[in-house]
Chains A and B, each alone.
Chain A
C-alpha cells in the first residue's frame, strides 16, 4: 500500500507540487525565523563571546543580561580578587556616550572601558589604547555611522556645523569629542556585531572615567578566570557566597541573556509572529492541497475500500503521502534557508543557522502536515464506499 500511496501522490504532479510548495514555504520560513533568532541572540551576548578567557562573570545581583546593566562599586573588584580560586579578575566598564564628529554631526556609542594594565576585553591590537586619550572604534553591526569629513575645511570649522559636507569612514588619527573632551581614533576593530546594532568605543578605564566623570560606581562586570584546580561553576558559587555579588559562568550568562531578550525584546515577538504566520500560510496551502488531493481521489480510495482496504490502511496511505511530501519539502526548505544564510548573513543582518533551526523547521512542517493530514482523513472516514458505482 505504501507503493500505491506514493504512485498516487506522484501521479498528480500539479497537486504534488502545490503540496510541496506549501511545505517548502513552511520549512523555509520557520528555519529562517529560527536562524534570525539565533543570529540576533548570538549578537545579544557578543560581549561575553568576545571574552572567551572570562569563564566567570561577576555583576550586580539585579543584572540578568549583558544588555541591561547597573554598575558595582570599585571595591567589588578587590572582593572578587580576594576569593580563593580566582587566577585573575579584570573589570569591564560599560556606558553610553554621544560623540561629536568633526563636521558637527553626532553619534551615540556604547563605550567599553577595559583595565588599563591588562587591556583585557579590548579588541586587538589592544595596546593602541596606551596612546593617551585614544579609543578603538567598532561599527558594532551598524553601517555608515562612523563618518567624518573628507576635507580639512569641514573639520571643527569656526563657522558652525558642516553637516552636508562629504564624508568618509573614520580611521586612525581622526578626532571626536566625547562630553567635550577630545578623543583620538587609534584603530578600527571588527568584533562580533551587536544586537541591537550600535557603534562601540573601546578605551581604557582611566580614559572611560575621564570621559564620563562624576559617577559613583563604574564597574559593570568583573571577568574572572579560575585557577587550574577549580571549575568555573564551583568558583562562581564561591564568589557569590563570599561577595554577595552575582557570579555565573559565561555559558550560564549567555543563556540568561537569551532569556532576557526573549522576555524583553520586541524582536522575539516579531519572530514568533513570523513563525506563526509561516505555519498558518504553510498550513493553508498544505491543508488545502492535501484536502483537495484526497477529495479528488476519493473514488480511488472508495475502490480500494471496496476491495477490502480498511480505514486504517487508507489513513496510512494519507500519512505516507504527507510524510513523503514533508520529508522532501522540509529538505528543500531548510536547504534554501541554508543557502540564503551564505548569501545574506552579514554584519548588518543577524542570521545564523544553528543546529536547532532545521530541527524547529522540520517540527513546524510536522505540525502543519499532520494537522493537514488529520483534516484530510475526514472525507475518507465519512465517505460512502458505494460511490464506486457512480460514474
Chain B
C-alpha cells in the first residue's frame, strides 16, 4: 500500500443560503494515496466540488480534520495555504480557466511565474510541458485560437508544469467530445504515472471510469460507496 497523501476525517461544510442552511458535506472521510487516480462521482449538488475545494484549501470547512501531505490545512493561515497550494497542488478545471490575454506557453508558465521563477526558465519548462501534451507547435497561440481539447491540454500542462504532488481535476472531460476526452484522460493517466503524483478527478462522465484506481460515490454530501 502506498503512503497517504490526503487524509480527510469527518469533514462538515454548511452553506447559508438566506435563511436556509445547505449541508454540502456531512462528515466526509476519505484518504487519497500516493500515485492513485481517484474519481469522485455522483449527481450534481452532491458535494464533490465542495469537497475538492476544501481539501485544496480554497474553501474553509466547519469541522473535521484534513491533512494534505502531512499538513493540517485548518491550522494554516490564508497566505500559508496559498503558498502551499501553489507549490504542491495542480488544477484542471471544467472551463479550462486559461487567461485569454496570454498565449498557451504563458498560461502554462503561470504557476512558475507566480512562484517567482525567472521568465526564461519558466518558458523553457512550459515549452517542454506543452510538447509533452502534444501542443509544442501551438505554444504561442492564445486560447481563442485553440479548440476545446487543445485548451484542456494546455490546462493540463499548466497543472503539471511545477511538478505538484497532488492534482485536482474538476470535470476535465465534460466540455470535450468523446475522442478528446479519451485523449485527455490517457494523457493525465500517463503523466501522473510518470511523475508519481496523486490525482482526484471529479466527474459525471462514466466513459472515463476505466481510468480510475478507485471510484468514490457521493450523494447528499456523504460518501456512499467506494469501489476499486
Contacts and interface: CB of A to CB of B under 8 A. Distances in A.
Contact of B170 (A10, A308, A309, A389): A389
Contacts of B49: 386, 389
A331 interface: no
- The secondary-structure label for the interface of chain A is helix
B47 interface: no
B52 interface: yes
A307 B111 contact: yes
B100 A304 contact: no
Interface string A371-391: 000000000000011101101
B101 A8 contact: yes
A305 B82 contact: yes
B58 A306 contact: yes
A385 B58 contact: yes
Given A307-B86, A308-B82, A391-B94, A313 B114 contact: yes
A310 B91 CA distance: 17
A22 B94 CA distance: 37
A248 to B, nearest CB: 60
Interface in A301-341: 303-311, 313
B136 to A, nearest CB: 22
Nearest to A303: B97
B102 interface: yes
A77 to B, nearest CB: 75
A4 interface: yes
B59 A384 contact: yes
Contact of A308 (B93, B95, B111): B111
A308 B53 contact: no
Given A7-B102, A7-B106, A310 B93 contact: no
Given A308-B111, A386-B53, A10 B101 contact: yes
A385 B111 CA distance: 16
B99 interface: yes
Contacts of A388: 58, 91, 93, 97
Nearest to A391: B95
A349 B34 CA distance: 79
Interface size class for chain A?
A: 20 to 34
Most chain A CB within 10 A, of B49, B78, B113, is at: B113
B113 A4 contact: yes
Contacts of A304: 110, 114
Contacts of A309: 82, 86, 114
B85 interface: yes
- Bin chain B's interface residue count: 20 to 34
Contacts of B83: 308, 310
A225 interface: no
Contacts, number: 80
Given A307-B86, A386-B53, A1 B113 contact: yes
Contacts of A10: 101
A3 B103 CA distance: 12
B204 interface: no
Given A307-B91, A389-B49, A1 B114 contact: yes
A228 interface: no
A389 B52 contact: yes
A307 B155 CA distance: 12
Contacts of B102: 4, 7
Contacts of B87: 308
A10 B99 CA distance: 13
A243 interface: no
A391 B78 CA distance: 24
Contacts of B119: 3
Instruction: With a 10 A CB-CB cut-off, give which of B50, B79, B82, B85 has the most chain A CB atoms.
Output: B82
Given A7-B106, A8-B101, A308 B58 contact: no
B101 A306 contact: no
Contacts of A300: 97, 99
A7 B78 CA distance: 27
Interface in B62-112: 78-79, 82-83, 85-87, 91, 93-95, 97, 99-102, 106, 110-111
Contact of A310 (B53, B59, B79): B79
A11 B93 contact: no
A309 B94 CA distance: 21
B133 to A, nearest CB: 18
A299 interface: yes
9 contacts: A4-B99, A7-B101, A307-B110, A308-B114, A309-B114, A310-B79, A386-B50, A386-B59, A391-B94
Interface of A: 1, 3-4, 7-8, 10-12, 299-300, 303-311, 313, 384-386, 388-389, 391
